[in-house]
Structure 1
Amino acid sequence: MDRQIGKTALLVMDMQQSIVARYAMDEARWRPFQTAVRAAREHGVQVIYVRLAFREGYPEVHAGNKMFAGLAQYGGATVADAGTQILDEVRPEPGEPVVTKVRVSAFAGSGLDVLLRARGIDSLVLCGVSTSGVVLSTLREAADRDFTLTVLSDACIDADPEVHRVLAEKVFPRQADVLTAEEWANRLF
């Protein structure tokens, strides 16, 4: 199992100020994320953070992009803005990469694939905000790139609990193992 762990990365996605601020987060909601990060670190699983941010002036944003055109207009989503920084509750430790993406998928414009391939990683464990956004988009693209996938169902959040349930119970299992953070952590021992 150690050989497999060395090839695995935990992706902690969109756990940044401006995105998480839209959700009611209490200690119980943080626990699965913290469990996953702690277990990964304790067992030598690479932790990689993914955030959404743009260069000054938003050159990556097309005016016709419904999701991101408003960000370019109102600002607050550049790499230097406080809203794009990873939250203290799951903050990166020195040596843990922070990848910046410019679309919904963690792979979009981020260099994530190069980072994973350079480290020999072929298995991804996904968690983040939101289930129907970054988790779904990243899972689909990672599956197309032939990564082995696990989704931590309780370390994913969506604005619509029913959408989260359908994705976790019916859609994700077609391409990934779906576990709780605790179940995944226990498999590492």
Structure 2
Amino acid sequence: MDPHLAESPEIVELKMKTHLTVEAEPYEFTLDPASTALIVIDMQRDFILPGGFGDFLGNKVELLHPAIEPTRRVLAACRQRRLTVLYTREGHRPDLSDCPPSKRERGRLKIKIGDEGPMGRVLVRGEYGHDIIDELSPLPTETVIDKPGKGAFFATDLDLILRNIGISSLIVTGVTSEVCVQTTTREANDRGYRCLVLEDCVASYFPEFQRAALDMIKAQGGIVGWVSTSARFLDAFENLG
């Protein structure tokens, strides 16, 4: 190695101080806060509150509620450390031109996507139900990605935004674990992003799907990503000082 290219002990020590190591599965996850973003996936009223799309699908929406408080704590810590924060919302244009008929018809629901519900038109952009729950409201400076499908990279500018601001690692939170969270994590993995899913900051209407989704992400040496908890992630911040 060219000695002129070798890093000084001071630089090595500085890097060690500015990098976080999070206890995770299948092994520890190391990140540089400057190139890491927190992504909050679809924490929308339509999925989490009664009278929304999740409710119309016949789900118990309260099963998603335990993820709210851990996500709020992680969000606060990331803002304090000035990590990039992004949100996603699944929903469609008011004319439903970006909603495939097969998606609208699926489930044979009495109240479908685009129909009027207690929180406005279901999964339609600009409606009350489409927006993020109050506990996790985005700041005006934080990016919100509106997506028409399950994955946050499909038909959006998310990848372009992340690359332009130098993001290579994602801290993944949101709902639901086996649908939009897992789809987005797989899309991110295929594009070269390193993903850490915080298991208590994601949730499913089906406990068995929650476990299976997390197991699939961390299996085979982390074939899709890493899995940890909010407590371990916050501990890493505390150790940074």
Fold shared per TM-score above 0.5: yes
Q: Are 1:177 and 2:226 an aligned pair?
A: yes
TM-superposition CA deviations, 1:119-168 (whole Å, max 9, x none): 11010111101001111100110000010110010000101111111222
Alignment of 1:159-170 (within 5 A): 159-168=205-214, 170=215
How many Å separate the matches in 2 of 1:68 and 1:128?
Answer: 23
**Contact 1:35-1:182 at 8 Å conserved across structures:** no
Query: 1:26 offset after TM fit, Å?
Result: 8.7
**Contact 2:185-2:195 at 8 Å conserved across structures:** yes
User: Which of 122, 135, 140 is the equivalent residue of 2:181?
Assistant: 135
SS at match of 1:6: helix
**Contact 2:63-2:205 at 8 Å conserved across structures:** no
SS at match of 1:35: helix
How many Å separate the matches in 2 of 1:103 and 1:58?
Answer: 13
User: Which of 58, 64, 84 is the equivalent residue of 2:96?
Assistant: 58
Which residue of the partner structure matches residue 137 of structure 2?
A: 91
Query: 1:72 offset after TM fit, Å?
Result: 4.0
Q: Are 1:45 and 2:83 an aligned pair?
A: yes
Q: Are 1:126 and 2:169 an aligned pair?
A: no
**Contact 2:48-2:64 at 8 Å conserved across structures:** no
**Contact 1:61-1:68 at 8 Å conserved across structures:** no
TM-superposition CA deviations, 1:49-105 (whole Å, max 9, x none): 110121111101121236599414664222111111111101111211111000001
- Give the 3 Å change call, closer, same or farther, for CA 145–99 of structure 1 in structure 2: same
SS at match of 1:38: helix
Poorly superposed stretches of 4+, deviation over 6 Å: none
How many Å separate the matches in 1 of 2:217 and 2:45?
Answer: 26
Alignment of 1:4-153 (within 5 A): 4-21=32-49, 22=54, 23-24=61-62, 28-65=66-103, 70-72=112-114, 75-153=121-199
**Contact 2:91-2:130 at 8 Å conserved across structures:** yes
Structure 1: gaps (5+ residues): none
How many Å separate the matches in 2 of 1:83 and 1:108?
Answer: 22
Structure 2: gaps (5+ residues): 1-14, 20-31, 55-60
How many Å separate the matches in 1 of 2:161 and 2:195?
Answer: 17
Question: Which is greater in Rg?
Answer: 2
Tell me how large the CA RMSD over aligned residues is. Answer: 2.1
- Give the 3 Å change call, closer, same or farther, for CA 132–121 of structure 1 in structure 2: same
